Every structure is written in C-alpha cells, then in structure tokens.
C-alpha cells in the first residue's frame, strides 16, 4: 500500500508488472479492510498473483511476509501458519507486544517453534536503533516511511 501511494515522481517501483519480484497478497481480513475504506480498486490491482495466503505459492516457499496481528488468523487457516522454519520479527514499539495473547503473531510463532526477535524499526525507534538497523541491512537505498 505504501509503495503504491508514494511511487509517483519518486522512481520507486510500483508493485505489479513494474516490480514483479514483489508479490502482493490480499488476505480476507485485508480485503475487508480495504472495502471498508472504499478502496476495492486497490484490491483489484494488487491481487493479481493468485497466491492468496498460500505459503507454497509465495516465492517458492521463501518469503518475507509483512503482517499485522489481525492478519495472523488468515495465514493460520488450513495449516498455513508459522512453522519451526520461520522467523518472526516484531518491529513495533515494545509496548504494543503482548507475548501472552495466543491470538497474536508472537505467541503463535513461539508455539510453532519459529525464531522470534524484537527488531524495532518503526518511526518510534530511536535514531540509534534505526541507524543500526540500516547498517546491518546494508541496503542500496533507505526509504523512511511512517504512516
């Protein structure tokens, strides 16, 4: 959604044909959210890959999946939740993390044996934490976004 909104005039590729390495997955929960916002057109443009929430169809089994706790249930259906081969990075302020709530991603990832890590990259992270994250990732470009 962010790439779609900021792409004009920036040279940043848009998801879709222009950036086919990025597969956009619209979960049932996400579809409902965009419909409530009157953005069915976004769902139509982005949900072209037919992957749904199928882990098998996402990047040949290797994928970085960005999700909110509200989306975890969609991925957990039919055995597509976390596995011991996964890593779960919680990137928000630690005050938002509830490790005991079994519905949340952290608890589900731990229960499945996935590696869990706190990696604060949100706009509320300190400048030092953001600089350390950027240095560790060593990207060609850093695009700070805070919604």
Q: Tens digits of per-residue pLDDT, 113-144?
A: 999 998 877 767 788 888 888 888 888 887 77
Q: Which two tokens stand for residue 27?
A: 């979960």
User: pTM of the predicted model, to two decimals?
Assistant: 0.65
Q: Which residue has the higher pLDDT, 82 or 6?
A: 82
Give the start-to-end residue ranges of the domains of the chain.
1-60, 82-142
Rounded alpha-carbon distances, angstroms, from residue 33 to 28, 37, 90:
9, 6, 22
């Amino acid at each position: 959604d962010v790439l779609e909104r900021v792409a004009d005039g920036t040279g940043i590729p848009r998801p879709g044909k222009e950036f086919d390495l990025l597969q956009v997955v619209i979960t049932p929960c996400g579809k409902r959210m965009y419909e409530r916002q009157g953005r069915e057109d976004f769902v139509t443009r982005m949900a072209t890959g037919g992957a749904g929430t199928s882990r098998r169809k996402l990047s040949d089994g290797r994928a970085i999946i960005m999700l909110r706790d509200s989306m975890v249930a969609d991925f957990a259906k039919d055995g597509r939740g976390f596995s011991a081969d996964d890593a779960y990075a919680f990137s928000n302020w630690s005050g938002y993390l509830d490790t005991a709530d079994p519905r949340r991603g952290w608890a589900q990832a731990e229960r499945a044996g996935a590696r869990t890590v706190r990696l604060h990259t949100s706009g509320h992270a300190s400048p030092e934490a953001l600089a350390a994250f950027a240095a560790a990732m060593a990207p060609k470009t850093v695009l700070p976004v805070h919604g």
